[in-house]
A = this chain, B = another copy of it.
Amino acid sequence: MLVSLDSVREQLENNGHRYTQTRGVVIDAIAASSHGFSADGVYTSLPTVGRATVYRTIKLLLQLGVLCKVALQNGSPRYSMAASGHHHHVICIRCGSISDFSQCNLDDLAPRLASALGREPVGHRLEVYTLCSECEGSPEVTLVRGGQQHA
C-alpha cells in the first residue's frame, strides 16, 4: 500500500470532514486496490456500506485530490490514488491497471499547448493506453468490469 491512510484522514479533517468508521472502511478498500478500481467494485466488495456512501466518499476524495478519475479506453470510469503534483496516467487496455507518469519529458506540455493555442489552457487531460507488463504475455482476455486486476 503506497498511500498513508493517516494522511487521507488528515486531508479529511483539515477540510472540515469527519473520518468516520464507514469512511474508514471505504478508504481501506480503496487503498487495497489503489491502482485502478471502479466505484461499483468498491460497493459490491463492501456489503455493509451503502451505494450512495461509496459514491459520496469517492467524490469527496476526488475533491480533496486524494483520488484521480480516469477513463479506460472504452470510456468506462476508473479511479486511482493520486500521486502528488501534476501527473498523467498510463492505463492497461486489458486489465485496467493504472500507473502514473510525471517525471517524463512531457513536463513542458502545458506551455507548449499555450503557445500552440494562442490562449491559456485552463486544464487538460492526457491518458495513455498500453498493455501492462503482466498482461503482455497472457493470452487470455481478462478485462474486468468490477475493477480488480490480476486476482
CB-CB under 8 A for A112 and B119, given A71-B125, A126-B124, A126-B125: no
Q: Complex: how many Å from CA A71 to CA B128?
A: 15
Q: Complex: how many Å from CA A104 to CA B119?
A: 13
Copies of this protein, total: 2
Question: What is the size, in residues, of chain A's interface with B at 8 Å between Cβ atoms?
Answer: 32
Question: Which chain B residue lies CB-closest to A124?
Answer: B128
Q: A120: which B residues are within 8 A, CB to CB?
A: 130
Instruction: Report whether A116 and B130 are in contact in the complex, using a CB–CB cutoff of 8 Å.
Output: no
Interface check A90, CB cutoff 8 A? yes
Within 8 A of B (CB), among A102-130: 104-106, 109, 112-113, 115-117, 119-130
Can you show 16 pairs from A to B with CB atoms below 8 A apart?
A90-B117, A93-B122, A101-B116, A104-B112, A104-B116, A105-B115, A113-B128, A117-B130, A119-B130, A119-B131, A119-B133, A122-B129, A122-B131, A124-B126, A125-B125, A125-B127
Residues of A within 8 A of B (CB): 69, 71, 73, 75, 77, 90, 93, 101, 104-106, 109, 112-113, 115-117, 119-131, 133, 136
